[in-house]
């Protein structure tokens, strides 16, 4: 089950919309808060560890790792690996995410600065050709390369299909690519998404994502004529909050209720929404 399919199609929705070719209203559920935080941040925090262990049995402690991209997925990967005792470097193109990486305790580098020394390379950018043949040529023997970001474009795997390199499938989802001098790179899932190919997804996260999608469809179906045009919309904040509230009992979590006086002071309805739409 491709639970992150919308990651792929969501930029296309905006492109269709811009081009005037979107013929129905669409909901960008991928950018709802619950989806971003749970499916991307919290889920990837766990699945990066799980995916690497199941495929390579690598010990995280003391390993040097470079994570390309410090969005929600990158933040999750970095937090998990740092907690397990890895030394993590980050690459970014966006100065805001870059500054966040600095403040969270990661050296912000260009890939070429650390490529010779790292033990693991992880892509989480949503971009293409983030790791190219030139980078792969410089990695050290035994370096593990994988993609947590999107589709199969982030690592230029095609560039490794050349006559001088030998591919050896060592187990399911794990290939050794062997250079003429004997150097081996450990490529996971042939550059496709590690968390979809090599780890499991907790039912709790699936439940959050599926609830978000279902509510979006119900909203589009029930909305009165004219509420939505042929454009791309974010999930209304109140629905986002509703998805979260449905999942709190799992943790025996007890929400505080606003008093009338407090609701008035804050200018809020006691039942939400509690935040403006732009709040993350």
In the range 237-266, which residues lie near a second copy by CB under 8 A? 240-242, 244-245, 247-248, 250-259, 261-262, 265-266
When asked if residue 58 is in the footprint of a second copy (CB under 8 A), the reply is yes
Size of the site for a second copy (CB under 8 A): 94
Nearest to a second copy of 59, 158 (CB atom)? 59
CA angle 121, 11, 37 (to 5 degrees): 60
Query: Within a 13 Å sphere around the CA of 265, how many CA atoms are in the beta-carbon half?
Result: 5
Q: Which two structure tokens, joined as six digits, stand for 265? A: 């002071």
Tell me whether residue 116 or residue 169 sits nearer to a second copy (CB atom).
116
Angle between helices 72-83 and 95-103 (to 10 degrees): 20
User: Cβ 162 to a second copy, closest distance in Å?
Assistant: 20
Say whether residue 9 binds a second copy (CB under 8 A).
Answer: no
First to last CA, the chain: 28
Reported as type and span, the H/E element at residue 87 is: strand 87-91
User: Which letter does DSSP use for residue 77 in this model?
Assistant: H
- Alpha carbon distance 22, 231 (integer Å): 7
Site for a second copy in 159-188 (CB under 8 A): none
Q: Is 275 in the site for a second copy (CB under 8 A)?
A: yes
Q: Tell how far CA 221 is from the center of its chain.
A: 29
CA distance 31 to 27: 9
C-alpha–C-alpha distance, residues 238 and 274, integer Å: 8
Which of 106, 131, 213, 216 lies at the binding interface for a second copy (CB under 8 A)?
106
User: Residue 133 interacts with a second copy (CB under 8 A)?
Assistant: no
Q: Does 278 bind a second copy (CB under 8 A)?
A: yes
Query: Min. distance of Cβ 34 from a second copy in angstroms?
Result: 7
Between 166 and 259, name the residue whose CB sits nearer to a second copy: 259
Write phi, then psi, for 124 (nearest 5 degrees).
-145, 50
Residues in region 184-243 near a second copy by CB under 8 A:
199-205, 234, 240-242
Applying CB under 8 A, among 33, 77, 122, 136 the residue interacting with a second copy is 33
50 counts as binding a second copy under rule CB under 8 A: yes
**Cβ 73 to a second copy, closest distance in Å?**
14
């Amino acid at each position: 089950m491709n639970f992150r399919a919308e990651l792929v199609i969501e930029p296309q929705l905006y492109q269709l919309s811009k081009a005037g070719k979107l013929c129905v209203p669409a909901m960008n559920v991928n950018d709802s808060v619950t989806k971003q935080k749970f499916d991307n941040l919290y889920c990837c925090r766990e699945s990066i560890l799980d995916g690497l262990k199941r495929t390579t049995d690598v010990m995280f402690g003391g390993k040097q790792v470079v994570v390309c991209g410090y969005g929600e997925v990158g933040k999750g990967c970095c937090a998990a690996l740092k907690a397990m005792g890895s030394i993590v470097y980050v690459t970014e193109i966006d100065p805001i995410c870059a500054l966040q990486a600095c403040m969270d305790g990661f050296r912000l580098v260009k890939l070429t600065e650390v490529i010779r020394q790292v033990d693991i390379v992880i892509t989480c950018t949503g971009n293409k050709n983030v790791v190219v043949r030139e980078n792969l040529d410089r990695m050290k023997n035994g370096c593990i390369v994988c993609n947590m970001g999107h589709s199969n474009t982030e690592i230029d795997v095609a560039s490794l299909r050349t006559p001088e390199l030998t591919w050896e499938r060592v187990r399911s989802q794990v290939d050794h690519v062997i250079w003429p001098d004997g150097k081996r790179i450990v490529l996971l899932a042939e550059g496709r998404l590690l968390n979809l190919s090599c780890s499991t997804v907790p039912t709790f996260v699936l439940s959050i994502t599926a609830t978000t999608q279902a509510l979006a469809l119900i909203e589009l179906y029930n909305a009165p004529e004219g509420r939505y045009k042929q454009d791309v919309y974010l999930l209304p904040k109140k629905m986002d909050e509703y998805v979260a509230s449905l999942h709190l009992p799992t943790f025996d979590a007890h929400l505080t209720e606003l008093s009338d006086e407090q609701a008035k002071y804050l200018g809020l309805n006691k039942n939400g929404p509690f935040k403006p739409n732009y709040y993350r």
